[in-house]
Every structure is written in C-alpha cells, then in structure tokens.
Amino acid sequence: MNTLTTIDELGFAPALQQDVLEDTTSDHALLEATRSGDQDAFAELVSRYRNQITSYIYRMTNDYDGAVDLAQETFVRVYRAADRYQRSYAFSTYIYRIATNLAISELRKRKRRKLVSLTGFFQQSDGGEAKEFNPPDLRPLQDSDLVETERRNAVQRAIGTLPEKYRAPLILRDVDGRSYDEIARILETSEGTVKSRISRARGFLREKMHAYL
C-alpha cells in the first residue's frame, strides 16, 4: 500500500500526522490509494467497514441476505466513485450515507411491493408505516439466555416497524453509538432534527416494548 506516501504529501505536522494515521483520515488515505489502483488499500477499507455496514443495513432492513447484498453494493459504489470522492467529511460519514440511501431505497421498494403489508392493519397517522402487533409472551421463561434472545428479537422487530425517518437515526445513535453531529451529516439534516427524531423513535419503542421495560 502506498498510504504513507499519500499522507506524507499532505504535509501535516508530525503529531497531527500520527493522529491522522490512526484516526479516520487514514480511511482517506486508503481511498486515495484505491484511487491510484491499490487493491490492497481497498481490501483494507472493506475489512474495516464490512461488519459495521452489514450490521447497520441489517438493522434497517431486518433481512440479513438483503443486507449483505446492499453492503456489497455500498462498497461497489465507493469503489466506482473513488475518483469523485471529496475529503470534506469523514469517510465513515460518506460510506454510512451511501448505505443509508441504499437501505431507505430498499425499504421504499418493499413498501411498493407491499411486502410488509401483513401488519398493515395498524397504520400510524404520522409515519404512514405499519405498526407490528407484537403482544408479549406471558408464558414463564426458563432460561435467561432465552429471555435475552427473545428481548433482542422483540427490539429488532420493533425497530423494524419504525418509520424509516426515525429508524435510521435511532440505529445510528443507540446501536452504533454515533454522535448527533455525525448522524446529522450522514442523514444530511440538522442536529436538532436528528435529536427530535431520535426522541420520537424512543417514544415509539417505549410503547411497543412496554412489556419488556
């Protein structure tokens, strides 16, 4: 990889340069190397982000195979658009934005195909998306692992029923632990909007998950 050469060319101060190497700017360097034809640099980028992106899209779409496909499509787009990439913001923001757009596009396609219409009896007035009827299982559970698994499944299903505009910021904040500022940049909206959407999303989840809280 010729990442060091690229970083050297940037002319940062030595202390800062060290940070750059360790922090997200090294993603920029990897992408620069990819742009110049370094396949290993791109492989390194993929290995850094494949789990995060797959997981994020999976939480958004609730479909693992589809999530893997979309994650691959995300990397294909990154690769294809490497020449046009601008380092005005972090690479993670850039790749998460692509992934978000793909996931939302997939959700809209599904909506058009009425694949999620089984729960369409419970329409929300504001989001327009279906609320899943998810009654709590009142049978006694014998294993704490089972309880935990059941609770996670319930959360995943509940997140899956959130309107997409609430779903993405909630996942980015509460699952991925990203800052409001970064989420705002990923979703290309204001920080205030992000905060209010996350608050609304938690409100929805509290209603759906009251049996587990």
Q: Which of 76, 81, 147, 211 binds another protein (CB under 8 A)?
A: 76
Output the six-digit token pair for 192.
């205030």
* Residue 129 DSSP label: S
Q: Is residue 166 within 8 Å of residue 204, measured between CB atoms? A: yes
* Residue 131 DSSP label: P
Residue 43 as a binder of another protein (CB under 8 A): the answer is yes
Output the six-digit token pair for 3.
């990442």
Contacts of another protein in 141-160 (CB under 8 A): 148, 151-152, 155-156, 159
Q: How far apart are CA 37 and CA 128, in angstroms?
A: 46
Residue 61 as a binder of another protein (CB under 8 A): the answer is no
Interface with another protein by CB under 8 A: which range of 52-60, 111-119, 136-144, 161-169?
Answer: 52-60
SS3 for 13? coil
**Residue 107, CB half-sphere, CA atoms under 13 Å: how many?**
22
Dihedral (Cα; 118, 122, 124, 129), 10-degree rounding = -10
Between 91 and 160, CB nearer to another protein? 160
Q: Which of 98, 162, 186, 198 binds another protein (CB under 8 A)?
A: 198
Q: Is residue 90 within 8 Å of residue 24, measured between CB atoms? A: yes
Residue 52 as a binder of another protein (CB under 8 A): the answer is yes
Q: Which of 47, 86, 125, 142 binds another protein (CB under 8 A)?
A: 47
Q: List residues binding another protein (CB under 8 A).
A: 43, 46-47, 50-55, 58-59, 64, 67-68, 71-72, 75-76, 79-80, 148, 151-152, 155-156, 159, 170, 174-175, 177, 180, 195, 198-199, 202, 205-206, 209, 212-213
